[in-house]
Structure 1
Amino acid sequence: MSTRRKPPVDGQPTPLTSTMPASSIRVSPASRSPLLPTRLEFLLISIYPATLLLGSIFSTLSPASRSAPYSAASQSHPPEFAPSYFAHKRNVFNVYFVKVGWFWTTLAFTVFWSFNPGFGRSWFSKRRIQAAGRYAGVTLWWVFVTQWFFGPPLIDRGFRFTGGQCELIRDPEAREDMSDTREYITAAACKGVGGSWKGGHDISGHVFLLILGSALLWSEFLPALTRAEGLRDGRRITLDDGKVASVAVEKDKGLEEKKTEEPVTQGVKLALGVATLMWWMLLMTAAYFHTWFEKFTGLLVAFGALYTVYYLPRGVPSLRAVVGMPGV
């Protein structure tokens, strides 16, 4: 016997966003802003500042770290005085993982994006396209900050804006042979000619990359875990008419019950492995590299992109229609 739905008090049906199935949305009192993370998300996000704090406390209390000299120019301990294998810039994890961190982020995301049945069976499903759009948005921010922003990347522009420059330019004889267009205005160009990047505030690129990459992966595969493991998912969104609703992970009705663990075994494990290793290297970066303020600004710059792509759309229906939300 079917249950008859009671008509709304105002006689009008509750409008739903065009990008979400009705079964995943439930209108509820606005006890929490849609722009804020859920408790589970807050716990995951808090891991990052806690990791930076833990690493910094360790470097302060560790006798080996305290006794080892620190070079502000290289933002690390000199190799001959490095207190740990992970304090060497040439350690295998830094060279083959962190230095090419966005490759590993892209690989993990691509595997998850390809095999996760929650995106639908079609390669051109709306969920799959929106997930690719979220990845593209975060990747664009990574490019702007670390690679190129209509010239030097934002990290290098910020360094020069705060008074930094290539040490080679301070040499009058070396400067005489250079035009304004040939000034070494990026850290890579400066180091390439044997100069030192000194004088300004240098946002920690390692902190930025490791937080941005791992949080992207967490944000994408967490809904798959909530469906498979029964974790609580209480995200809120603003509907087109301004009402606040609670949205749950939408289950794919075409999947058999025995396949509910499929998202975990196909794609999530690799993404989880990459995110975990990124967390470990973030801890090592916090313990052995950069100053407190450099690490803090790296955290803020990464969080800015993540908030724009994964949290802001919950309160802005027009933006949510473009990038969607993971799991719905």
Structure 2
Amino acid sequence: MSARRKAATANGQSAPLTSTMPSGAIRTTPAARSPFFPTRLELQLLAIYPGTLLLGSILSALTPAFRNAPYSPDLQSHDPAFAPTYFAKKKNIFNVWFVKKGWGWTTVAFIAFLLMWPGFGKGLSVKRIRAMLRYSIITLWWCFVTQWFFGPPLIDRSFLYTGGQCELLNDPSAMEDMSDTRVYFTAAACKRAGRKWTGGHDISGHVFLLIIGSSFLWFETLPALTRFEGLRDGRRIVLDDGKVASVAVEKSPASEQDEVTRKGVSLPFAVAAFMWWMLLMTAAFFHTWFEKFTGLVVAFLGLWVVYFLPRGIPAVRAVLGMPGV
């Protein structure tokens, strides 16, 4: 079917569809909801994350064992000697081998979905290429926030801008022997020097990673799940002519639904679900409330750019596309 097919309107006329718009169930609709806002289904999905942070904080505040365990601001966790549960220890196996390597697990799960899900078509299809572009941008945002941003990552820059520094910088005698290139401007470099990274606001990297990783997997696999369940998400988009249209995931024939859901979706679903569990553990045992909140905001910002901005700007949508259409 041509990408320039006509979209039926309520009065029986048709509105032109640009060549950048992928196939899907499309109809023009009154602009009751901005294309930049999530659908009801997406809103329910996104609401899980602040709800999880709130639930974890409530558990931490109301449970005597959690409340009485000493909390160390420097460690951003409970004192290991008095940790209320195994999950409250930073060196628990799930934190070391899953959370700290979370983007690797996200990547493996996405590659499995990318290679196995029949909805992408055969070979290097346009849908598959656009999915890879979305992954690349989300990965770039993860890198900017946690690894590198033309120098220190955004998490470390925000820490410095809010008054934080390496403890070594408070020692004039130690500073005398340091060149400008040896000044510790990142948390990792400071810790390698055996000092503490103190004084500023630390955006929770764990919260950021767990939210953006699991949300990315959810948004990419949601079309497969909505096909199987027969849900219509009704995402609104702006067409090239400025009209607002509603586009829903094309529903597979009944004979194909089991295959579509089975292939490639199980691993992303499992990784996203375990990320949610570790987010709950992080909410209960690590970081302050404000540190967790800013991690949530920074994660949502990256998701909005990749999954909601293209709906209102056809030129961006022509490059990144939309999952499932």
TM-score, normalised via structure 1 length: 0.93
Report the Cα distance in structure 1 between the residues aligned to 2:226 and 2:291, rounded to whole angstroms: 34
- The corresponding residue for 2:82 is 81
> How far apart are 1:250 and its partner, in Å?
2.7
Q: Which structure 1 residue ranges, 4+ long, deviate > 6 Å from structure 2?
A: 5-12
SS of equivalent to 2:73: coil
Report the Cα distance in structure 1 between the residues aligned to 2:290 and 2:91, rounded to whole angstroms: 24
After superposition, the Cα gap between the structure-2 partners of 1:173 and 1:63, relative to the gap in structure 1 and judged at 3 Å, is: same
SS of equivalent to 1:247: strand
After superposition, the Cα gap between the structure-2 partners of 1:97 and 1:170, relative to the gap in structure 1 and judged at 3 Å, is: same
The amino acid that maps onto 2:63 is S
Q: Does 1:138 align with 2:130?
A: no
Aligned residues: 320
> How far apart are 1:327 and its partner, in Å?
0.3
Report the Cα distance in structure 2 between the residues aligned to 1:269 and 1:9, rounded to whole angstroms: 39
- Between 165-174 and 256-265, report the one with greater CA deviation: 256-265
> How far apart are 1:162 and its partner, in Å?
0.7
Contact 2:9–2:29 at 8 Å: present in 1 too? no
After superposition, the Cα gap between the structure-2 partners of 1:23 and 1:48, relative to the gap in structure 1 and judged at 3 Å, is: closer
Report the Cα distance in structure 1 between the residues aligned to 2:204 and 2:191, rounded to whole angstroms: 17
After superposition, the Cα gap between the structure-2 partners of 1:239 and 1:187, relative to the gap in structure 1 and judged at 3 Å, is: same
Q: Select the residue among 251, 275, 280 that pairs with 2:272.
A: 275
Alignment of 1:283-302 (within 5 A): 283-302=280-299
Contact 1:19–1:321 at 8 Å: present in 2 too? yes
> How far apart are 1:229 and its partner, in Å?
1.4
Alignment of 1:118-267 (within 5 A): 118-122=119-123, 124-251=124-251, 257-267=254-264
Report the Cα distance in structure 2 between the residues aligned to 1:81 and 1:19, rounded to whole angstroms: 58
Report the Cα distance in structure 2 between the residues aligned to 1:7 and 1:125, rounded to whole angstroms: 27
> How far apart are 1:258 and its partner, in Å?
2.1
> How far apart are 1:26 and its partner, in Å?
1.1
SS of equivalent to 1:267: coil
Contact 2:7–2:16 at 8 Å: present in 1 too? no
Q: Does 1:15 align with 2:12?
A: no
Q: Does 1:54 align with 2:55?
A: yes
Report the Cα distance in structure 2 between the residues aligned to 1:261 and 1:22, rounded to whole angstroms: 22
> How far apart are 1:265 and its partner, in Å?
1.2
Contact 1:82–1:88 at 8 Å: present in 2 too? yes
Report the Cα distance in structure 2 between the residues aligned to 1:183 and 1:272, rounded to whole angstroms: 43
Report the Cα distance in structure 2 between the residues aligned to 1:8 and 1:40, rounded to whole angstroms: 24
Report the Cα distance in structure 2 between the residues aligned to 1:285 and 1:215, rounded to whole angstroms: 17
Contact 1:24–1:247 at 8 Å: present in 2 too? yes
Which 5+ residue runs of structure 1 have no aligned equivalent? none
- Between 15-24 and 296-305, report the one with greater CA deviation: 15-24
Contact 2:70–2:82 at 8 Å: present in 1 too? yes
Which digits, 9 at most, give the CA deviation of each residue in 1:57-92, with x for residues without a partner? 111111011111111011001100111110000001
SS of equivalent to 1:236: strand
- The corresponding residue for 1:110 is 111
After superposition, the Cα gap between the structure-2 partners of 1:22 and 1:79, relative to the gap in structure 1 and judged at 3 Å, is: closer
> How far apart are 1:228 and its partner, in Å?
1.4
Identity, % of aligned positions: 67
Report the Cα distance in structure 2 between the residues aligned to 1:287 and 1:40, rounded to whole angstroms: 27
After superposition, the Cα gap between the structure-2 partners of 1:9 and 1:297, relative to the gap in structure 1 and judged at 3 Å, is: closer
> How far apart are 1:9 and its partner, in Å?
10
After superposition, the CA RMSD in angstroms is: 2.0
> How far apart are 1:20 and its partner, in Å?
3.2
The amino acid that maps onto 1:246 is S
SS of equivalent to 1:148: coil
Contact 1:207–1:299 at 8 Å: present in 2 too? yes
Report the Cα distance in structure 2 between the residues aligned to 1:231 and 1:86, rounded to whole angstroms: 36
